[in-house]
Amino acid sequence: MKKIIRIGTRDSPLAIYQARKVQFFLHEEGYISQLFLMKSEGDIIQNIPIHTMNKIGVFTKRLTNLMLSGEIDMVVHSLKDVPINIPNEIMLSAFLKRGSPYDLLVYKGSNDFLYNLNNHAIIATGSLRRASFWRGKYPHHTIIGLRGNINTRLIKLYKNAWKAAIFAKVGLERLGILEKLNNSKLLNYKELDWMIPSPGQGIIVVSTLKKNNRINILLTEKLDDKKTRLSANIERQFLRTLSGGCMSPIGGHAIVKDKIVYFTGILLSLDGMKKIKKTIKGTNYKNIGFQCAKYILKKGGKKILEENKKIFHNKKL
């Protein structure tokens, strides 16, 4: 009798959907699996912005510790939640084919709102990166924090006097919410293609213990999408080189087409008024993220990182 594979995941609807994709794959390969649901620290603490918690892995650490202790066999994550530095005993064994990496503005009422963005508006987001992009483009708008799972955030948008909120497009797609919005008279949406996505956005990743060779080989050979893995590694190399952590708004997006990588990286000030952006294309996969980050640091990125850090330490954000 085959061992039951225990799959760890957060208990939000989106996280469960993502874990079930991996569970279905294992079922097709003849394995029996069970979902292990839990709340992360980031799920439990809802009254403050994530970036003010000053902790690494607020959405992943508890599940990682359970895997290290042998209570679960693998964890399914949204890649953008996974810290750059992971324990030596763990590997990212499969990157599922990427969904949309882009951000989406969900707004109330008709399209008149989009034609009147010069007027004051209240925009909600829990993302430092999205807030800075929006502040830089619409400095006369007010940004407020927004926490919770996707459905909770949509309900908050509907109930409050906000004009709009910003979401990851892929989450709304995976839960079937985007299709419902197409038929809604209350809420509309628009893709924000001018926002550079967060590194790893739109990617589901499976982490496992390195010592579990059999399952690791299965995941890497049959579930892993090589183009997605390549893009993810470049984006995470860029983030690692900038060492921005959660205190600086950073965007990074790699597209692989005909064996050529097109990578765009950006670093912003917290108010969005300063930004350094660089696009590189090439086939030197191992260094593109590094080169882009070094360019940004050389062109004033170090100063922006220091200024952002100072604002956090002075608790002005």
- Burial of 108: CB neighbours in 10 Å, binned 0-12, 13-18, 19+: middle
Catalytic residue among 43, 81, 103, 224: 81
| C-alpha span between 295 and 298 (Å, rounded) | 5
Q: Residue 278 pairs with which residues in a beta bridge?
A: 265
The label of the residue with tokens 């890497």 reads: 220
| C-alpha span between 256 and 232 (Å, rounded) | 11
Q: Are 99 and 216 in contact (CB under 8 A)?
A: no
DSSP 89: T
The label of the residue with tokens 């010592």 reads: 211
| C-alpha span between 56 and 298 (Å, rounded) | 26
**Nearest to residue 69, comparing CAs of 150, 24, 140, 6?**
6
Based on the residue annotation, tell me whether 81 is a catalytic residue of this protein. Answer: yes
Catalytic residues: 81
